[in-house]
Chains A and B, each alone.
Chain A
Amino acid sequence: MSASFVEFHDLRKSFGAVEVLHGIELAVQQHAFVVLVGPSGCGKSTLLRMIAGLESITSGFISIGGRVVNRIPAKDRGIAMVFQSYALYPHMTVRENLAFSLEMAKIKKDVMKARIERAAGILHLEPLLERFPAQLSGGQRQRVAMGRALVREPELFLFDEPLSNLDAKLRVEMRVEIKALHQRLESTTIYVTHDQVEAMTMADLVVVMNDGRIEQSGPPLDLYDNPATMFVAGFLGSPAMNLIKGTVATDGSAPVLDVGDGLQLPLPAGIREKPGAEIVYGLRPEHVSIGPPGSGLPATITLVEAAGWETHLYADMGQHVARIVSAERLNVAHGDHVSLVPDVSCAHLFDATTGARLSID
């Protein structure tokens, strides 16, 4: 087999007659931090649980470290998993929670003690070791759940939305901590989230899933800059990419997109689509700017969000809503009439029916 550490080949999963994963193909390199991201119900947890051995494999195979694990029980797959609900043993102290897997594996007492101490040290759990889960805060429970994974010294860490029960501030802190831990342990991690910010910030490899399929996988910025489908384009980035549907037309010799209300967006010169084709024009909010009056598309500001480090604007442009992000503190207010200037060189074009990216000469 090849050098990749985890591989999925034509992996399918059905619950009864319903197929929820439709032929997943993916290769994960050793030491990579992979984030599976997608909307709720797209099959992320199911995929993760199949890797863990908690869910049977309907067809296809999964291999970990060059070994097909389809028939290998969860405990022998060299994995550890952190659940969204933490799933701590409520009747055991933190120490007992950490010790449980080692006891089951009949690890010697002194080795066990050393491993627990090491995990507790890394995660700052020492003062909590004698407490019960009910006596811990959400963030502390999260740490214990990670500690319980850590003591097993797994080759592969699996996380299922581990931060979604934490408040925003703690979420950012734990995000950093999990990534730092990954780098320190040089382990391989597969991390599930529905939060595209987590995906973008944590991943070496982002895998965008939709409806039981992989839409696209790659390094975060590759996906951000070159989304293969309209779904990926709209899913990654916040505020989301502007996606405007229209009909290809010409203005003199230059190609334009007729988006209704007499509005025309300039199209890249290299477009292959013939006039009359229906396409979707995608432009990131940071690639729209406000120009001098009359220089671009007329729009009316409806909402201004001054985040501090950047400003988010929402504007009505005919029947469309345009999202604009500016690194500057703009002096505009609700109701202002502005002129929007798109940066055509940054436009993404998609087929209106299939959602596939259209190439430009």
Chain B
Amino acid sequence: MRERGGLIDGLHYRLGRSVLIGVPLAILVIWTTIPIVWAVLASFKDPLEIYESNTLLPANPSLDAYKTVLSMRGFDQWLFNSVFVTVVATIVPLAISILAAYGFSRYAFRFRHILLLLYLVPRIIPRVSLIVPLNNLMSDLGLVNTYWVLFITYTASAIPLATWILVGFFGSIPKEIEESATIDGANMWNRLRRVILPIAWPGVVTAGVLCIREAWNEFAFVLALINETDMRTLPYQLYMLKDSMGVQDYAVYNAFTILTVLPLLIVYLLLERRVVDSIVSGAVK
């Protein structure tokens, strides 16, 4: 009897637990994916269908909207701009942040904590409030409408984020592991490259993904500091679509949105795999 009771209790428990976890999870998933699903479906519709019918599924699914987007004059250039700026604004801040975080997590220098807090200032100040002074500064330097202005502003805003993440990861690596490496004859560069970075790899990837996301999605700075059509990034152009089209072609609009989001999604999926793998393989104790 008791065994059966136990079994049934166990079932109840497991059922209760899956409901408790499953239902909120389902709501969350639906909540976050509905807009994307809606956008995907809308991108397959005829231009006027969105105004005419209320059905979710397209009546005559077609790729016309995508063809329109891809054949837009300048699309290649905008895509290139986005990719180029994102690559630079990920690699440079990561490299700087790795060195900074190593210093912060390993050396007990004076004002360490104050400095680490000051590091956050650029992220605490609202981005919009920086636009006017930045614009003045950058036009004085003659950098408006160049890649430099995006490299500089994106790198500057990514460094604090990446550094803070990496300080946490580096700091959690036991000091003795690095001391072992020191005795084993590794200099600082080798300790960083062969010991610290591989162990903190999930942290590096996390920081990298966030840098990519920030640069790829950035809107305020590019809007303020770029005004040549050829220098636009995808989010900027997405915003400009609204003005440039007389009657709003929602299918094209949504196709553009999907094409803007897609690369980021792919990066997420690829890198998340790496992070999960490295954790699962027991690389980090």
Question: Interface of A with B (CB < 8 Å)?
Answer: 52-54, 74-75, 79-81, 83-85, 87-91, 100-101, 104-105, 132-135, 148, 152
Q: How far is the CB of A69 from chain B (nearest CB, A)?
A: 13
Task: Verify if B190 is at the interface (C-beta below 8 Å from A).
Answer: yes
Q: How far is the CB of B179 from chain A (nearest CB, A)?
A: 5
Q: How many residues does chain B have at the interface if contact means C-beta atoms less than 8 Å apart?
A: 22
Given A91-B199, A91-B283, the answer on whether A104 and B174 have CB atoms closer than 8 Å is no
Q: Are A104 and B180 in contact (CB under 8 A)?
A: no
Q: Are B182 and A74 in contact (CB under 8 A)?
A: yes
Task: Verify if B183 is at the interface (C-beta below 8 Å from A).
Answer: yes
Question: Interface of B with A (CB < 8 Å)?
Answer: 174, 176-177, 179-186, 190, 194-195, 198-199, 201, 281-285
Q: Are B182 and A89 in contact (CB under 8 A)?
A: no
Inside 8 A of B201's CB, which chain A residues have their CB?
Answer: 91
Q: Apart from A54-B182, A74-B183, what are 16 other A-B pairs with CB-CB below 8 Å? A: A54-B183, A74-B182, A75-B183, A87-B174, A89-B181, A90-B177, A90-B199, A90-B283, A91-B283, A100-B181, A100-B186, A132-B281, A132-B282, A134-B283, A148-B184, A152-B184
Given A87-B177, A104-B190, the answer on whether A53 and B285 have CB atoms closer than 8 Å is no
Q: Are B183 and A135 in contact (CB under 8 A)?
A: no
A-B complex: 3 closest residue pairs judged by Cβ atoms = A101-B184, A134-B282, A104-B185
- Secondary structure call for the B interface: helix
A to B CB contacts below 8 Å, 7 in the list: A74-B183, A81-B179, A85-B174, A91-B201, A104-B185, A132-B281, A134-B283
In angstroms, Cα B182 to Cα A130, docked, is 24
Given A91-B283, A135-B282, the answer on whether A75 and B180 have CB atoms closer than 8 Å is no
Q: Are A90 and B285 in contact (CB under 8 A)?
A: yes
Q: Which of A89, A104, A105, A135 contacts B177 (CB 8 A)?
A: A89
In the complex, the chain A residue whose C-beta lies closest to that of B281 is: A132
Q: Are B194 and A100 in contact (CB under 8 A)?
A: yes
Q: Are A52 and B199 in contact (CB under 8 A)?
A: no
In angstroms, Cα B182 to Cα A87, docked, is 12
In the complex, the chain A residue whose C-beta lies closest to that of B182 is: A74
Q: Are A75 and B184 in contact (CB under 8 A)?
A: yes
Inside 8 A of A134's CB, which chain B residues have their CB?
Answer: 282-283, 285
Residue among B176, B180, B185, B194 with most chain A CB within 10 A: B180
In angstroms, Cα B18 to Cα A53, docked, is 55
Inside 8 A of B181's CB, which chain A residues have their CB?
Answer: 89, 100
Inside 8 A of B174's CB, which chain A residues have their CB?
Answer: 85, 87
Inside 8 A of A80's CB, which chain B residues have their CB?
Answer: 183
Q: Are B185 and A101 in contact (CB under 8 A)?
A: yes
Inside 8 A of B190's CB, which chain A residues have their CB?
Answer: 104
